[in-house]
Chains A and B, each alone.
Chain A
Amino acid sequence: MVRVVAPAQPRKLVKVPFVELADGRLQGVVSSGSDAARVYVSSITASTHAYHCSTNNNRPCGGLRGAPCKHLETLANEAVLQYGFDRVARYLRVEPDVAVNTGAALLHSLDARHEPSSAAVVFSRFLRHLSYLEVPGSTTSLPELHWFPSTRTAR
């Protein structure tokens, strides 16, 4: 009766408030180091290993110079913290060398190429994600959650 998907592991959220393995991509939102009001939307597609990084207003990231930028590296590292290295590698359909053990290293081990994509899809998923925190709490029982026990067992 335990959950099919292992719970996420805790991580600091300041740098990367949002990361997910969804829509066939490792994607997320990375805070700008210099401007609190700006965020970068970074993604890498599982099937093609095409990557992109831009501001949420679709302004291309200046760090993309023929290789994944530091935002993508940070995103990959945080994805590994949240989901575990194996799950991220499996999602990106790679079987990395044993020497590769961080998200950033995994990213650079790929035969990846840059291909612009729209930030809008990922950013709207981030807003949708945040909107859960605005849903009011409940004070009546939700019996279906008995199928979803909280667990400290990471699988």
Chain B
Amino acid sequence: MHGTQIAALTAGHPAGLTDAFHLVAGVDAALTRGLARVGDEDAAALAGLAGAVATTPLANLVAEAVDKIIAGSGAQEYVAALAGARSAVLGAVHDALLGQLDVALGRSRTPWVPIPAAVPGEVSPALAAARAWLSEVAVAGWRGVDHELVAGAGSVVEAALAVPELRRLAVLLDGLAAELRACVPVAMMSQVPQRRWADLWSRGVLLAQDTAAGDAALSVTERVSGRLLPLAVDVHEHDTAVQFQVHALLEPADGGSTRLVRTAVGAAKVDSIVGPALWRLLPAQPVLLAALAQRRGVLVADVPIRGADMPWRDDRARLDEPVDPFAAARVLLPDALAAAPHPVDRHPAGIAEPVLLEGYAVSGQEGRLTVELDGHRLAVTVDRLPSCGPLTPELVAASSACLGLLRWDAGRWLLQPMAVQATVKRKIVAVHTGDWACGVTDAKVAKAEAKAGDAVTVLRERAGRLLRR
């Protein structure tokens, strides 16, 4: 990324962005107070949302739903239309922001290729339960969430978790429910994280529709072979889930242009498994873990891909030569072909675009860092440095090159570091979030880990003994 590209990215907001967020804020306030209590202000906000989608195919559906909700109905179909309209507005915001990013970076992006929606099969009780709970929450409002309503999520999550196709929904609801549980009674909270919870709630409602059960993202039409050059890994986690999402360049074996792709592996976990132990939850992916820890390329053969997303197939992957991710990004990233996300995933919070920045200066205090390149500044988020890797805010502050993700949060573009080249004791070192994928390589941290004991083994041993008695 050059200074001029930072300038283009941060020069201004896409047209209509402020209005769109204003609209969403009104809806979120209504969801905070609850659909059982739609006052004049909330009614105006909901009507505004209906107005915003009035020229889209959602128009009639949303207009009717808003009328009914204002009149006091909390029926699931109306609540779903509300979630759909809110998601559509934020989808448009996503598209505008990603368009701005592509123009600034000169990044080419293939459009999403729709495939016919799967015909809903038999009615899923797990989905029905999720829809019922999400509607109940919307009617009560975040302010009305109590112990009983939160406890109701337990069986919903359990049922969804038992169906592999519903993993996304299960993981989302479990994360949301845990936050609500920690905050009840929400009525006593001074400030409700209403945008965040409404985001999670809306996505939950979309994923809980019967048409989503066939999860179009899982249906794959394309297969590829070639050389995968991992750039860096982004780690996501809440109390009961962890995901390692590897951003990589794919050189197709058939000689096509280099593609910017992602592959993700994840595991269920419990809250007491944190830090480097998270890697130990992935024993079935030795090739991916070795590629990250040893910074090696990977040869993949006939693997499925949809847009930029490659479901990981360790059995179809083979370790290749060592690759310096910084060198690979320098040469191949500027012209790599990106891909648009699945339509449901279009949300500003989902924007995570790999970039390479070199030769910058870092300024600011720990926690509020800024990189400056040719006089142009970009804010850095160190909140997303994972607990399982060696990358620290101090290393970011001492860095001069960074492989990171461009994200958009709280009204501005941010750089999320995933790997840096930093000066430590007058030497340049490269530090990546994935360095400890096959075990901690820092003696001090390894010693502390050993002292704490092996959480994964302890709990698996208990589970083995108690769950099969």
Contact = CB atoms under 8 A, between A and B. Distances in A.
Contact of B264 (A131, A142, A147): A142
A138 interface: yes
Contact of B467 (A12, A134, A148): A134
Interface in A136-155: 136-153
Given A143-B350, A148-B175, A152-B387, A13 B458 contact: yes
A23 B268 contact: no
Interface string B255-278: 000000011111111111011011
Contacts of B200: 144, 147
Contact of B455 (A5, A13, A127): A13
Contacts of A82: 271-272
Contacts of A140: 167, 217-218, 264, 309, 311
A9 B388 CA distance: 12
A1 interface: yes
Given A7-B237, A146-B350, A134 B463 contact: yes
A19 to B, nearest CB: 8
Contacts of A9: 274
A12 B168 contact: no
B463 A133 contact: yes
Given A22-B181, A139-B311, A141-B309, A148 B264 contact: no
Contacts of A143: 168, 217, 341-342, 345, 350
Interface residues of B, number: 89
A105 interface: no
B182 A137 contact: no
B124 to A, nearest CB: 18
B272 A11 contact: yes
Q: A-side binding surface: helix, strand, loop or mixed?
A: loop
B5 interface: no
Contacts of A116: none
Q: Interface range on chain A: under 10, 10 to 19, 20 to 34, or 35 or more?
A: 35 or more
Contact of B265 (A18, A126, A127, A137): A137
A135 interface: yes
Nearest to A6: B182
B459 A150 contact: no
B392 interface: yes
29 contacts: A4-B182, A5-B179, A7-B387, A8-B274, A10-B272, A10-B452, A11-B272, A14-B453, A17-B458, A17-B459, A23-B147, A82-B271, A82-B272, A127-B467, A133-B459, A135-B267, A137-B265, A139-B285, A141-B263, A141-B311, A142-B241, A144-B207, A145-B243, A147-B175, A149-B234, A149-B235, A150-B237, A151-B387, A153-B385
4 tightest A-B contacts by CB? A145-B236, A150-B386, A135-B268, A150-B235
Interface of A: 1-5, 7-14, 17-18, 20-24, 37, 82, 126-153
